[in-house]
Chain A
Amino acid sequence: EAQVTQNPRYLITVTGKKLTVTCSQNMNHEYMSWYRQDPGLGLRQIYYSMNVEVTDKGDVPEGYKVSRKEKRNFPLILESPSPNQTSLYFCASSPGARWGTQYFGPGTRLLVL
């Protein structure tokens, strides 16, 4: 089944404890992206990747890192999480054709205490 998977789905952590949210897609998509969803602010792009080893900042990249060493994986790294990073995170992928549709993973709910 074609899908985007994220792990973990739910995570409670404490301020400053490094964490990684994994994202994997099995559709051979070139483009991958991370969004966060917050009440009143909607969905905002954090980082994106056009292909392996090609990543760039979105609208709200502060406090996050990403890497794209393989086509299928695009992990989101929070080196020192803070409470303002409490959010619902979505990974998305698309074929990379300029106007490809983005398909989203199931989301990761993160609570930083």
Chain B
Amino acid sequence: AQKVTQAQTEISVVEKEDVTLDCVYETRDTTYYLFWYKQPPSGELVFLIRRNSFDEQNEISGRYSWNFQKSTSSFNFTITASQVVDSAVYFCALKGQGGSEKLVFGKGTKLTVNP
């Protein structure tokens, strides 16, 4: 069975702080993809990043960075110099080799950035 665990239910920071959202996954598939999605208060799901199981390079996109470590089955997300607009629920998701192409989501981490 596939599983994604986001142990941090809620995080609250003050603007300009750095914050890391943790994601730990479980799968027996040798090939898989990991994703992060953002759900702002308006409710939509916004795609942030996709990473495949063969690519462990870290990625940086502006203030966002992702650290993928197969050895610890983790795919953590860091926001540098957080802003109020970063307040949202962030979901980590896993897609394995199953035919349904379904995404297995973590329960999400609610991030609140206070001014």
**A→B interface (CB under 8 Å):** 31, 33, 35, 40, 42-43, 45, 48, 50, 56, 58-59, 88, 90, 92, 94, 98-99, 101-107, 109
**What would 10 more interface pairs be, CB under 8 Å, given A98-B101, A107-B44?**
A31-B101, A33-B102, A43-B105, A58-B102, A99-B95, A104-B45, A105-B44, A106-B44, A107-B43, A107-B45
Decide if A48 touches B43 in the complex (CB within 8 Å).
Answer: no
Q: Which residue of B is nearest A45, CB measured?
A: B102
Minimal beta-carbon separation of A88 from chain B (angstroms)? 7
Q: How far is the CA of A66 from the CA of B102 in the complex (A)?
A: 16
Which secondary structure dominates where chain A touches chain B? strand
Q: How far is the CA of A50 from the CA of B91 in the complex (A)?
A: 24
Decide if A103 touches B43 in the complex (CB within 8 Å).
Answer: no
Minimal beta-carbon separation of B42 from chain A (angstroms)? 8
Instruction: Report B84-97 CB contacts with A as 1/0, cut-off 8 Å.
Output: 00000001000100
A-B contact list, 22 entries, CB within 8 Å: A40-B107, A42-B106, A45-B100, A45-B102, A45-B103, A48-B101, A48-B102, A58-B102, A59-B102, A88-B43, A92-B103, A99-B50, A99-B95, A101-B35, A101-B47, A102-B103, A103-B47, A104-B45, A104-B47, A106-B44, A107-B43, A109-B43
Q: How far is the CA of A105 from the CA of B100 in the complex (A)?
A: 19
Q: How far is the CA of A45 from the CA of B102 in the complex (A)?
A: 7
Q: Does residue B64 face the partner (Cβ distance < 8 Å to A)? A: no
Question: What are the nearest 7 A-B pairs in CB distance?
Answer: A104-B45, A45-B102, A43-B105, A106-B44, A107-B43, A42-B107, A42-B105
Decide if A56 touches B100 in the complex (CB within 8 Å).
Answer: yes
